[in-house]
Amino acid sequence: MTATVINGKAYAVSLRQQVGAAVAQLRADWDVTPGLAVVLVGEDPASQVYVRSKEAQAREAGLRSTTLRLPASTSQKELLGVVADLNSDPAVDGILVQLPLPPGIDSGSVLAAIDPAKDVDGFHAINAGLLATGQKGLVPCTPLGCLMLLRHCLGPRAMTGLSAVVLGRSNIVGRPMAQLLMQADCTVTIAHKGSRDVPALCRQADILVVAVGRPELVRGDWVKPGSVVIDVGINRMATADGGSRLVGDVAYEEARQVASALTPVPGGVGPMTIACLLLNTVIAACRRRSLAIPSYIADC
Ligand code: NAD
């Protein structure tokens, strides 16, 4: 029997609809329209595509969306000035500085300058610390999206006691993912490029989340039969006809023969990331004004 394919694209559509309903409720009840500001520095083509999608999906959900496009020659001081202006703008609830930043700008200093209450990417050390200590903050969008897919697939209570392995320890995916799985009562192992016998570690996993940026690193025989596999990787591979295609960090066809459910690439985790960004913007807008989170998204 082959695995169930977890349709992240469809789940993200329904999440964006819930966010849209929550925005409409905030506007009707409190005359509040949550505002998202995205800062894009330079001309990185992948970032431009990504930022355009964010803009379009934010508008569709009824958010106030602004994108500040700055030249690659922008200095760190100028960028910090832009962030300071957004921090003090009451109409802005969420600030996202698109990464990567051009060489010469220290992204750590820029991310640290964002008001943690508006840090809808959840990368600020304050939000990372809140997550690590089990407190309410803003959670990084990609791992939040992965958790939602897992809950949808397994049911929230069914995660208790499961063995979860997270492959990758980046601040934007692996580490926060491990924290979220621990809060969901899983027993969590984090494996990384310094780990020994990574395939054996993966084979213990009832839940395997892979975020390494290595095309098809995880083979079918690394996957525990009946497990759930979440593939965060997005790798562009050249094809024989001179084109390219996207592949994940998991050898999809192999894993599909072994797992009980898995996410495809594309169409799995990717669409959830922007949907969670919109969700975080609405949550930030409510918290900043001490408003109750609208029921449409309260349980997300
Ligand atoms: P990163 O490069 O910051 O981190 C990679 C991690 O993988 C590191 O912790 C490293 O220790 C580990 N690693 C590398 N090779 C390994 C190996 N052979 N065995 C075990 N561990 C190994 O990457 P990232 O930013 O976390 O992104 C990972 C992947 O997820 C990339 O393909 C990226 O494009 C993708 N991504 C997707 C989304 C999305 O929205 N779907 C969001 C963020 C990242």
Predicted pLDDT at 143:
98
Nearest Cα residue to 234 out of 272, 185, 206, 207: 272
Q: Is the minimum distance from the CB of 172 to ligand 1 under 6 angstroms? A: yes
Kindly state the average pLDDT of the residues 56-66: 98
In 10 A of CB 233, how many CB atoms?
A: 24
What distance in angstroms lies between residue 165's CA and the mean position of ligand 1's atoms? 14
In 10 A of CB 190, how many CB atoms?
A: 18
Q: Is the minimum distance from the CB of 140 to ligand 1 under 6 angstroms? A: no
Q: Is the minimum distance from the CB of 214 to ligand 1 under 6 angstroms? A: yes
Q: Is 80 exceeded by the pLDDT of residue 194?
A: yes
What distance in angstroms lies between residue 170's CA and the mean position of ligand 1's atoms? 7
Residue 299's pLDDT band (cuts 50, 70, 90):
confident
First to last CA, the chain: 31
Residue 157's pLDDT band (cuts 50, 70, 90):
confident
Residue having the nearest C-alpha atom to atom 4 of ligand 1: 170
Mutate to test the pocket of ligand 1, among 123, 141, 193 (most ligand atoms within 8 A of CB): 193
Strands 64-70 and 163-167: unpaired
Residue having the nearest C-alpha atom to atom 31 of ligand 1: 213
230: exposed, middle or buried (Cβ count in 10 Å: 0-12, 13-18, 19+): buried
pLDDT, tens digit, 9 for 90 and up, residues 8-18: 999 999 999 99
Q: State the residue for tokens 């690394």.
A: 222
pLDDT, tens digit, 9 for 90 and up, residues 196-238: 999 999 999 999 999 999 999 999 999 999 999 999 999 999 9
Whether the CB-CB separation of 52 and 81 falls below 8 Å is answered with no
Residue 69: strand pairing partners: 40
In 10 A of CB 243, how many CB atoms?
A: 8
Question: CB-based contacts of 245: which residues, under 8 Å, 6+ apart?
Answer: 236, 237, 239
- Active-site positions read 54, 98, 121
CA-CA distance, 83 to 80, in Å (whole number)? 5
pTM for the predicted model, two decimal places: 0.97
What distance in angstroms lies between residue 264's CA and the mean position of ligand 1's atoms? 16
Q: How high does pLDDT run on average in the chain? A: 97
